[in-house]
Structure 1
Amino acid sequence: MQRVTNCILNHNGKMLMLQKPRRGWYVAPGGKMELGEHVKQAAQREFFEETGLTLQEPELRGVFTFVIKHEDEVVQEWMMFTFYCEQYTGQLLEQSPEGALEWVDMADVLHKPMAEGDRYYMQHISSSERIIYGTFTYTPDFQLLDVKLDPDSP
């Protein structure tokens, strides 16, 4: 099972987002964990690699399972650990190796193109300090089939 981390960086009412070139979807910067890494290390390393910024004390806010199903058969599954942070150091990269970086007003984040399930956890994490757990089930072409969240999304 693949393990990934990401982080919602909210600084002065804006979230740093990464627009991935493949689908044009916006995401919180992050990526795959390396062998032996703990989730916080991975989140800080991946965020730095993609943005040039060093997160200052990110907090775990979400743990999610993503399931890809084709005709009721699971064809892929991974876990994602999502952090939240408000402070950072460093200089933002002019160009990320993973796509285009953009500071987005928090009020506009959910209006950006993104995977439908991302809207659920981004809304919760940006409005609550409680950790959220969830499972998102998608088709192979990333159409959202089912969402299970604990606690339920607002």
Structure 2
Amino acid sequence: MQRVTNCIVISNGNVLLIKKPRRGWYAIPGGKMEPGETIKESAIREFQEETDLQLHDPRLVGVFTFMIYRHNDLVQEWMMFTFTDSEPEGVMSHFCKEGELEWVALEAIDDVPMAEGDRKIFDHVLSSDESILYGSFSYTEDYELLYVRLDPTRS
């Protein structure tokens, strides 16, 4: 099972996202964990690799499993650990090999294209709830959301 980390950075009423070229969807900066890394070390490293920005003290806000199905067959599964932070240090990169970095206004977050499961994660983070959200997301290979379970429950 692949393990990935990402970090939602909110600063001055904006959130830093990556617009992925494949689907034109926006995603949270992050990526695959390396052997021996803690999840926090991975979140800090991945965020810096993609943005050139340094996180201060990211806080864990979500732990998720993602499953991709082809018809009824499970074809891929991974775990994702989501952090938040604010006011990263440094100068943001002008180039990211993963896609285009963009600060998106919080009030526009519902209008940008993204995976439907990511919307559930943003709902939790933006609700000012201090708890950790645990969840499981099931998708088709085309990333159509089939099923979601969240604890604590979110609409």
TM-score by length of 2: 0.96
CA RMSD, Structure 1 to Structure 2 (Å): 0.9
What CA distance in whole angstroms lies between the structure 2 residues aligned with 1:71 and 1:99? 29
Q: CA deviation at 1:74?
A: 1.2
Give SS of 1:88's match: coil
- Match runs of 1:59-98 below 5 Å: 59-98=59-98
Q: Secondary structure at the match of 1:107?
A: helix
- Residue 37 of structure 1 corresponds to 37
Alignment partners' CA distance in 2, 1:62 and 1:55: 17
Partner of 1:2: 2
Counting only pairs closer than 5 Å after superposition, residues 112-127 of structure 1 correspond to structure 2 as: 112-127=112-127
Deviation at 1:126, TM superposition (A): 2.0
TM alignment of 1:101-120, pairs within 5 A:
101-120=101-120
Q: What secondary structure is seen at the aligned counterpart in 1 of 2:54?
A: strand
CA shift at 1:86, angstroms? 1.2
Aligned mates of 1:43, 1:3 — CA distance in 2: 11
Mapped to 2, the partners of 1:39 and 1:126 lie a distance apart of: 22
2:148 aligned with 1:147: yes
20-29 vs 69-78, which moves further? 69-78
CA shift at 1:111, angstroms?
1.4
Give 1:10 shift. Answer: 0.4
Residue 30 of structure 1: CA displacement?
0.3
Q: Which range moves more in the overlay, 57-66 or 121-130?
A: 121-130
Runs of at least 4 residues off by over 3 Å: none
In 2, Cα distance between the equivalents of 1:98 and 1:70?
25
Secondary structure in structure 2 of the residue aligned to 1:55: coil
Unaligned runs of 5+ in 1: none
Q: Any unmatched runs of 5+ in structure 2?
A: none
Distance 1:2 1:93 in 2: 27
Q: How far is 1:125 from its partner?
A: 1.3
TM-score (norm 1): 0.97
Stretch moving more, 78-87 or 120-129: 120-129
Give the number of equivalent residue pairs.
Answer: 154
Sequence identity, in percent?
Answer: 54
Residues 34-92 of structure 1: CA distance to partner in whole angstroms, max 9, x if unpaired?
A: 01001000000000000010011000000000011122221110000000111210100
- Take 1:71 and 1:97, find their aligned partners in 2: how far apart are those partners? 32
